[in-house]
Structure 1
Amino acid sequence: MNEIKVSESSVDEQRFRAVLDQDQMLGLVAAAVANMVGVDLGAGNVAIRMLHITTSGGGLNTTKYGAVCEIVVDRLPRAAEGTA
């Protein structure tokens, strides 16, 4: 995942702002979900299948955001490469 760049400014208050690209959002959401269910994203049998960011709204200033993330753990043993 690319480094998330955060800018800071302060006068009477301190503000932090970050703009995340798709890969960064995927990494953060997938890491949070994997942590919740106890899955190691670095394992060879684990794949992030999808990340879908959703928006919904019904009136003035009522936009709501959500995310759907699917992580797949392959539980079938695989033959080592070069063997049949």
Structure 2
Amino acid sequence: MNDFLLFYNSISHNFSWTLDIYHSSIVGWIITIGYKPAHEMHGQNVIHVQDDCDMQLCFAKAQIALKEWLCENNGGY
């Protein structure tokens, strides 16, 4: 979790993003990065990761998904 949050914090100032972290006993862990309301792409997700029970796995998947998105859409990170 800490690695993901440190990475997100190091790059988030370059983007108009929101970070949502949610947990419940029904859906497990959900991590979503989306666009702020004032952004033209508001309502779309940059990443959306869900894992039923493993918090560490969910954060690891989110970090991989974010880095892949940055490589594909931003030329790297």
The structure that has the greater radius of gyration is: 1
Compare the two structures and name the one with the higher strand fraction: 1
Give the TM-score, by structure 2 length. 0.28
Structure showing the higher helix proportion among its residues: 2
